[in-house]
Structure 1
Amino acid sequence: MDQQQIQNIDEKRFFRLPFEKNTFRLSLNTLNAHSNFRKPANFYQIETKILSFKNELLTVSVKLPDEPKKLVYLKVTREELLVSCNFDTDQTYLSRYAYYAILGKMVYSETANFKEYYWPDFFDPNTGRSKFLKIFNDRRGFDINLKPKYPSFYKPGDTLLELQQDQEVPKAGKPLNSLPEELPISDKVMGFALADTNLSSIHSNHYPFLVPFHGILTKDRKKIKYYSSFHLNEHDSSELILSENQKQLTNICFKMRELAPVRNLGWQDKFVPNKEELENGKKLFLLWHHAFELIQSQKHLYFACTMGLKNLKRKPSRSWMNPCEFKKERPQLVIKRIDKGDYFQIELAFKINGKLKTLYYPDLAFFVRPKSNWLHKYLLGSFNDYLLTSFFRKTCNKLAVLKPHYAGDFESFMNKLEEKYEIIDF
């Protein structure tokens, strides 16, 4: 059987190897359980090479010592690896060439991950090629990437967001308890900084929280010229006279910091909260709403990058501190569904006073920021809003879905979103 013929092989003629549950990983134990072959002592004399990836089929050449090359064909489905070759593999038997081709993917561990080869329906069955993918195969290696013009694609089986029962939060738009309070004239002041690092960054191990800091004013008393220290406990303010609002807000800040920590991440990992982190996130989100009026009564508000709390152990640096505005308007999340012919593009946006705005990326947990000014912070209205922005953050606020993949799980997902959010068709 030649390579051109295999591009349209009947799936019933493939041998099937199951992946570990909810993954694209194939273990050595599973491979060995379906074959009597085992890794030979001189395994490194076996040469394997990826030749092509067409029509969802990965073609691999296998060269055994003193034997001609054979071709092995692999197709990745949601739950199984389908295997064939141009020699003697069929639905009941896995040839040694096929065994060695798969074993070659397990050089550094006893599992192989085939996720990068899962591209269902992304190829033209007549040509075997994909207009969506850039496939590189040279001496530096083999790579499959989406072409830059396309956003990330949903694929059947991908995890979709499940909205939760929302908790009540204080209503937006009610008047402040008090205007900014007058304090005795002093060069020393307290300000408040939104402490944050992107939750899916290796540098982050916390949700965003508010942290007080001490500063020295300029001569005209309009700006802070020098940041002296962060205010991390109640004893740090002994040299300052605080207003009642600042005392209340500082107490909330300490509670926020207790709830903020999450696990450290590896550089490739996306943040997905466990049960405890999810519950702490809900409590912290509610604290932001209780603090919001008090925050707006303050004059010196900043955004600070904490590098995973490391920066809080030192005095604030000017390069970390950016003046920001906490806007009083409540944002309304909007989902744009754009018909692109072969696929739908799903984008997250938001409205302020009826005007549609583009989200700044990366986003900030519990807040949205407009692309036009990332230092404007709008506090989200519900914890589900936060979950939705977190879901879209993973794909830079744009997600594509092929039309054959829209029906089913994805359509159900969109129908549930439509119960809570406005969906605009373009």
Structure 2
Amino acid sequence: MKRRKQRKEELIMADEMMLAGKPKSQFFKLPFENKTRILRLNVLDSHTELRAGNRPYHMVERKVLSFKKGILTIRVKLENEPPVKVYLKVEYDHLLVSCNIDTDENYLGRYAYRTLRAMLWNEYHDFQQYYWPECFNEATGRSRYLEVICDRYGVDIRLKKEFKGFFRPDDYFLHISERKVLERKNVNDVLATLNPEYLIGYCLANTDPVRFHSNHYPFLIPYSFSLNADNKTVKSFTGFLFEEDDSIEQSELSENQTELNSICYEMKKIARIQFREYGDSDERSDEIDDLNFSNKRKIFELFNKALPMLSTQPFTHYLFTYGMRNIQKRPMKKDMQVARFSVEVPLLNFLLSDKGDYYELKLRFKVKGKVFHFCEDRIAMFFIGSSSNPTVWYLLECEPDSRVVLFFSRKNFKIQVPKGYYKEHFKPYVEEIKKHYELEIKYKHRHGRD
């Protein structure tokens, strides 16, 4: 009878997941703060009578040995004691803790406690960097998604380049806003005729909205220039045209150019992004956010109005400004890139693919039913370009589309989600996308569709 009971226990242990040579059920559990991977000191202390004194990190030598199968192994040495190993495994809402000396599911041992207490020197610790569920092969211990480097400085865990968009449970995902599509006027495909006495072109000025101090939304700037002998290419740019010193006679401009110039000047007035200052009240911060959003929406409306006229201009360029303060009187020829603006409407298109162990959600766009892939260097908030023809710019169908493109551009336009938690943590986002955009699904196998 005793042998039968022992055999039953062995079978149960064989079926149970083993972590660092122990059944998972024998690890001590410490709960995280709700919807985070943060462990608070008061939570740790509520699970044990042990205490570490006023200098909890003193006399505790720690060295990370490895991060395999999601288990962080730390070599710990207390003063005048032999070293031991402490094991930490980050789960969705709790931390699993064990040690090769003590600690089980009912008791948090001294070595494990002192290790955690040293990590919580600021009364909390965020274990998010060690949370990589469904990322490791149980047989080999390796990860197809991660690069793990352990050295004397600790452990460095980073996503491989091809998995830049990897999604973990509770990672941020963009809220898909209601889309208000503006009417877009038809356009005559014939290019406007040049006035050789007053050569005017138009430049899309853009910068990264994240990196630079004098940030601005994309806007149009008219410029004057001279032609080469072939009358087809720019010889030199003689200057940007600003409203305050626009010296060109209005009578020499076409009706479209006059209206375009007016739109350009209106854009520039509201293009600069306002920033919060240290010490701003909540009310002031809200005012700044509201102003920026209002200006962004107005600029998109102006682009929508300008596009039919802009697309017929024979000379148009693109300029990455690195900030509003760098827009000088005269554009530098080496910075001005030839551009063409299409009136065709790009429609965002998502492709959900079965990649075996994971699903991949990819953002593309379609023009006249043809699929295009994004060019990373050709995104100017409201405008996008394709990798196959990056000189052609397309104005997005509506302002919310620009937020979708920006979000996915930071993830190389594709998001990977392991199948183990796709249904619970990511499928609702896919269902929401289907309400607003075209979604195509590519299955790896005919059977077992999710």
**Smaller-chain TM-score bracket:** 0.7 to 0.9
Tell me the SS of whatever aligns to 2:333. Answer: coil
Report the counterpart of residue 301 of structure 1 in structure 2: 316
Residue 319 (1) aligns with residue 334 (2): yes
Report the counterpart of residue 246 of structure 2 in structure 1: 237
Equivalents in 2 of 1:374, 1:230: separation in Å?
A: 24
Tell me the SS of whatever aligns to 2:405. Answer: helix
Equivalents in 2 of 1:103, 1:257: separation in Å?
A: 55
Q: Deviations over 1:299-345 (max 9, x none)?
A: 22110011022321453112211010101211122111221111112
Normalising by structure 2, we get a TM-score of 0.79
C-alpha displacement of 1:55: 2.4
Equivalents in 2 of 1:89, 1:295: separation in Å?
A: 71
Which residue of 163, 166, 172 maps to 2:176?
A: 163
One-letter code aligned to 1:144: I
Equivalents in 2 of 1:395, 1:190: separation in Å?
A: 38
Residue 57 (1) aligns with residue 57 (2): no
One-letter code aligned to 1:390: L
Residue 250 (1) aligns with residue 264 (2): no
Which residue of 29, 32, 39 maps to 1:18?
A: 32
Distance 1:231 1:298, change over 3 A: same
Distance 1:424 1:319, change over 3 A: same
Distance 1:171 1:67, change over 3 A: same
Equivalents in 1 of 2:274, 2:106: separation in Å?
A: 45
Report the counterpart of residue 340 of structure 1 in structure 2: 355
Tell me the SS of whatever aligns to 2:350. Answer: strand
Distance 1:50 1:295, change over 3 A: same
Tell me the SS of whatever aligns to 1:338. Answer: strand
Residue 262 (1) aligns with residue 273 (2): yes
Tell me the SS of whatever aligns to 2:404. Answer: helix
The 5 Å alignment of 1:405-416 reads 405-416=421-432
Tell me the SS of whatever aligns to 1:419. Answer: helix
Residue 354 (1) aligns with residue 366 (2): no
CA contact (8 A) 2:225 2:238 kept: yes
Which residue of 280, 283, 286 maps to 2:298?
A: 283
Identity of aligned residues (%): 33
One-letter code aligned to 2:428: S
Report the counterpart of residue 37 of structure 1 in structure 2: 51
C-alpha displacement of 1:263: 5.9
C-alpha displacement of 1:39: 6.4
One-letter code aligned to 1:325: R
Equivalents in 2 of 1:56, 1:247: separation in Å?
A: 63
One-letter code aligned to 1:395: K
C-alpha displacement of 1:422: 2.2
Equivalents in 2 of 1:276, 1:7: separation in Å?
A: 58
Q: Deviations over 1:120-170 (max 9, x none)?
A: 111234554433322221245422233445452111112222222222412
- Number of equivalent positions: 410
Equivalents in 2 of 1:177, 1:134: separation in Å?
A: 51
Tell me the SS of whatever aligns to 2:420. Answer: helix
One-letter code aligned to 1:237: D
Distance 1:291 1:96, change over 3 A: farther
Distance 1:364 1:12, change over 3 A: farther
Tell me the SS of whatever aligns to 1:16. Answer: strand
Normalising by structure 1, we get a TM-score of 0.83
Residue 424 (1) aligns with residue 440 (2): yes
One-letter code aligned to 2:237: Y
One-letter code aligned to 1:210: L
Larger Rg: 2
Using the TM superposition, name which of 413-422 and 252-261 deviates more. Answer: 252-261
C-alpha displacement of 1:181: 5.1
Tell me the SS of whatever aligns to 2:334. Answer: coil
Q: Deviations over 1:53-81 (max 9, x none)?
A: 12222111211221121222222234444
Distance 1:326 1:335, change over 3 A: same
Which residue of 73, 76, 93 maps to 2:90?
A: 76
Residue 143 (1) aligns with residue 156 (2): yes
One-letter code aligned to 1:136: I
CA contact (8 A) 1:192 1:300 kept: yes
Residue 225 (1) aligns with residue 240 (2): no
Tell me the SS of whatever aligns to 1:346. Answer: strand
C-alpha displacement of 1:30: 6.5
Q: Deviations over 1:200-250 (max 9, x none)?
A: 445772222212223333344433322233333x22211454333223222
C-alpha displacement of 1:420: 2.8
Q: Deviations over 1:11-38 (max 9, x none)?
A: 574241524x655455667667777635
Report the counterpart of residue 283 of structure 2 in structure 1: none
Distance 1:420 1:122, change over 3 A: same
Q: Deviations over 1:331-387 (max 9, x none)?
A: 122111221111112111112222211111143311221101222101111223222
Residue 401 (1) aligns with residue 413 (2): no
Using the TM superposition, name which of 371-380 and 310-319 deviates more. Answer: 310-319
